[in-house]
Amino acid sequence: MKGRGLTLSEVAPLVQADLVGDGSTTITGVASLDAAGPNKLCFYASTRYRKQLLATRAGAVLIKADHVDDCPVPALVVRDPYYAYALLANELHPRDRAAPGLHPAAVVAADAVLDDGVAVGPNAVIEAKARIGRGTEIGPGSVIGKGAQIGENCWIASGVHIAAGCIVGNNAVIHSGTVIGADGFGFAPGPDGWRKVPQLGIVRIGHDVEIGANSTIDRGALDDTVIGDGCKLDNLVHIAHNCRIGAHTVMAGGSMIAGSTTIGSWCMIGGQSAITGHIEITDGVTITGMTGVTKSIAEKGTYASPLPAQPVRKWRKNTVRYLQLEEIAQRLKALEKTFSALKRRTPKDT
């Protein structure tokens, strides 16, 4: 995507940076330290990349004050180079926006409400009584269900399904293949098999939420499924019915949450983690990748359970030992019992 083009003197105040060097250099985009040319902006946030910094040909580098002496090109001195980079990358590479209006192949119900500046792509469907906020873009082939509400300045990519009655806040980004508001997994067993339990809640998504491709968020059974403001979900994330996710929590790819679980604010859930249902996780918890969470977490901190990779021969031996744990535990219990009995029979020292 073509950058806008800003001089360093214009860039610096956007991130409250102190400029060290020539402010007239024009920056047209961002790049990595070792690939950047004289009109590209980079960031330096780890000493692991000092060699690349010393050799960079970038137009400027976002950097902390402690490392300015190592920077051979103009420097933008900030407290957090990576965060400043994120802000400027969006400024220099704005997303291409579709022109407002309805594509001739779009299908929009007569009583749907579309505010000013809405763009609806080809083969998109907006059903009865749905409402789309100002400046929102609905991508090709997406479906906005009956009575659903989408906020302002959202980008709904192609092939997204937002089911009936669901609510999405302002500035949402929802990538292709995502389904919001499918029925939760609710079935009651009986003599004639499994009886479906109606899923009567909706999904409520806050403001400034991003949801990756092919993710699923199920509607509630009775209460709503709720995603808080500022949450960021990666691809292939699954959130079951009645879950509540606190503000600014992030979830990496393939992670899953079973039904009726509550997760606090500012949590970080690693990829392929699996969280059981009907538990609570407090604010500020980090769960490392591939961790299984089977009970509530009441204290802030980092939690992990996956085993590291190891040579296959060692793994096979350890697996055999694992399968013998119950037998070993029973033998140990018997030995402890025998030892206790021997101690009781042994005369005490006089």
Alpha-carbon gap, residue 77 to 16, rounded angstroms: 9
Handedness of CA 177, 183, 184, 190 (dihedral sign): negative
Alpha-carbon gap, residue 42 to 82, rounded angstroms: 9
| pLDDT score recorded for residue 349 | 56
241 is catalytic: yes
CA angle (46, 49, 54) in 5-degree steps: 120
Name residues whose C-beta falls within 8 Å of residue 249's C-beta, 6 or more positions apart in sequence. 228, 231, 263, 264, 265, 266, 267, 268, 269
Alpha-carbon gap, residue 333 to 292, rounded angstroms: 29
Q: What is the pLDDT of residues 34-50, one digit of tens each?
A: 999 999 999 999 999 99
Is the pLDDT reported for residue 332 higher than 70? yes
The catalytic position among 67, 241, 248, 278 is 241
Banded model confidence at residue 348, pLDDT cuts 50, 70, 90: low
| pLDDT score recorded for residue 1 | 39
Alpha-carbon gap, residue 78 to 70, rounded angstroms: 15
Question: What percentage of the chain exceeds 90 in pLDDT?
Answer: 91
- pTM, whole model, 2 decimals? 0.90
- Rounded to an integer, the average pLDDT of 86-106 is 95
Nearest 10 degrees: Cα torsion 320, 321, 324, 327: 160
Q: What is the pLDDT of residues 5-37, one digit of tens each?
A: 899 999 999 999 999 999 999 999 999 999 999
